[in-house]
Every structure is written in C-alpha cells, then in structure tokens.
Amino acid sequence: MVDYQELSDEELVKKSLDDREVFYYLIKRYESKLMRYINRIASVTHEEAEDLLQEIFIKAYRHLNGFDQRLKFSSWVYRIAHNEVINFAKKRKRGTALIHASNNGDTDNMVLDNLAGEDDVHGNFVAMESREQVWQALMELPLKYREVLVLKFFENKSYREMSDILRKPEGTVATLVNRAKKKFLKIASKYQLEGILQ
C-alpha cells in the first residue's frame, strides 16, 4: 500500500498521470498555500478565490505532461496561479481596479490574518503594529511590485524560484524586488510604517 503523503511532488505528478485520484494529494498539499497567494496578490472575494483555485488545479492537471521535471513542482504550480490571476484580472476588464480595489468583509480579515501568520511572514512584517496599514500600503502597489514582495517576503521564495514562477531572469526579479521595496516604503511612509522591509 503506497502512502501518498510520503511521496515527493514529482512522484505524485507521475502517479497522477496514471490515476487521477492521486492528484487529490497534490491539491491537498497546495490548496491553502495557493489560496493565501491568490488573496495576497488580488483583491477577490472568497468565492472568486475558490473558483480561481479550482481553475488553477484543473489547468495544472491538464498540463501535467508539460511539467518540466527540472523545475520544482511548487514553482510550476505557482506559475499557473500567477497566470490565472493575471488572466482573471484581464477577463473582468477591471485590471487595475481589481488589483487596487479596497477590500472589505471576509476577504479583508482573511488577508490580514494571512499577513500575520507566524509561519510565513518575514520578521519585519511580524513586528509591524498595524497589519491593516501594511495591507493597504501593499494594495496600493501595482500588481507586478506587490507580487514580488508577496513571493519574497510572504511566500519566502528564493530568487531562482521567483524567476521560475514569473518567467523572468533572476537579475530582473532582484531589480523588481528592489523597486517594489522602494515604492512600498514610499507608500508606507504615509502610514508611518518606515522600517518595514529594511
């Protein structure tokens, strides 16, 4: 009897191609991570986030044969998530409005909770006094800058992983992170959040 939870992502991918039920274990491994990621980079309602998540996993399943074993599965599935969020924003034709929209209700609280999660938040963020202000400052950033900050400081991705997710050279990613930090600090000064990201 195979204990699927013991298998690596790559082994699960291979087995999922023969038995789609195995794909369930991959979904379980990534559903909460990807849900957090979606909520952090796009202001969407809970229902929209769930729909997006479903689409991401279905797209991942369709493209399983295209998974490059030289990459980490996590980078690959985050890349799909990144593309789906961008497509979602375009489809709704709200583009900037979607990604700059002020959040409210459940999603707001959920994102703020995620921001404060001990397991994945960068030290400087943990130390912040006003989670809501950080969230607002982050949401004022254009998506491309917000996304790199989220990947670097919230998802703790390396530059190589970020390069694989965003399909950009590592140097470009590092430049984007630096620019994003500068822009964030500029916005953060409005909320007296200086010191964050330094």
Partner 1 sequence: MKGDIGKQVLEKIERERVRPYSKWRFVFRRSVMWGLFVLSLILGSLASGVMIFQLTHADWDLCHHLHMGYVTFLFHVLPYFWLAFLVGFTAFAYFYFRRTERGYRYPTVWLISGSVFLSLIGGGIAYKVDLAERLEVILRSNVSIYCRMQEMRSRIWVAPEKGLLAGEIVDVQSANKIRLKDFKGHTWQIELKDTLWRGRLKATKGLKIKVIGRMEGRNVFVAKEIRPWQGHGWRRFFRHGSGPGRGRCGRPDGKSPGRWGHEQK
Among 7, 17, 86, 116, binds partner 1 (CB under 8 A): 17
Whole-angstrom distance, CA of residue 97 vs CA of residue 64: 33
CB-based contact 46:106 (threshold 8 Å): yes
CB-based contact 72:163 (threshold 8 Å): no
What is the footprint of partner 1 within residues 18-57 (CB under 8 A)? 20-21, 23-24, 27-28, 31-32, 35, 46, 50, 53-54, 57
Whole-angstrom distance, CA of residue 170 vs CA of residue 127: 28
What is the three-class DSSP state of 34? helix
By the rule CB under 8 A, 171 interacts with partner 1: yes
By the rule CB under 8 A, 65 interacts with partner 1: yes
Q: Annotate each residue in 115-154 with x if it binds partner 1 (CB under 8 A) or - if it does not, as one string.
A: ----------------------------------------
Tell me whether residue 160 or residue 190 sits nearer to partner 1 (CB atom): 160
What is the three-class DSSP state of 188? helix
Q: Two tokens at 132?
A: 């809501």
Among 142, 169, 178, 190, binds partner 1 (CB under 8 A): 169
Kindly state the helix (H) or strand (E) to which residue 129 belongs, with its residue range.
none
Which residues of the shown chain bind partner 1 in the complex (CB under 8 A)? 17, 20-21, 23-24, 27-28, 31-32, 35, 46, 50, 53-54, 57-58, 61-66, 68, 70, 163-164, 167-172
